[in-house]
Amino acid sequence: MPTIVVEIHVPLSPAPHLPDDAYPYPWIEEIEDFLSDLEGQGDIEVFDDAEQDEDAYLFFVTGAGEDDLLAVASRLATLPGVPAGTFAVVSDGEAEEFGQGRRVALPLPEA
């Protein structure tokens, strides 16, 4: 049975109001810290290293059920500084390309 993987696609947009000499994507490190903390607690697993794909930065989570992984993706999308337009793709560990699966708008509506 394939492993559920949720790809989190974050638009590669520079953070606003940064000094000219600042790194334009400080939210990448914030997201990596957020996911690392959840992984350390045993809530999820980071499936693979984050990477740039065209005009987005992708993060990959697994190790839980689809609803829990989408809840993590939704929380990630609302972290301070994360660009608007972040979305998730529910895929599996055997997908040959990014974005193959069901697309889910983030953040999720409140239940």
pLDDT per residue, tens digit, the chain (111 aa), is 678 999 999 999 998 888 888 999 999 999 999 999 999 999 899 998 999 999 999 999 999 999 999 999 999 999 999 999 999 999 988 888 888 899 999 999 975
Whether the CB-CB separation of 59 and 6 falls below 8 Å is answered with no
CA-to-CA distance for 98 and 91, rounded, in angstroms?
9
> Which residue carries 């989408």 as its tokens?
70
Identity of the amino acid at 36? S
| CATH architecture classification, 4-105 | 2-Layer Sandwich (3.30)
Every domain of the chain and the residues it spans? 4-105
CA-to-CA distance for 7 and 28, rounded, in angstroms?
15
CA 6 to chain centre: 8
Tell me what pLDDT residue 98 has. Answer: 87
Element (H, E) at 36: helix 26-40
Tell me what pLDDT residue 46 has. Answer: 95
Tell me what pLDDT residue 73 has. Answer: 97
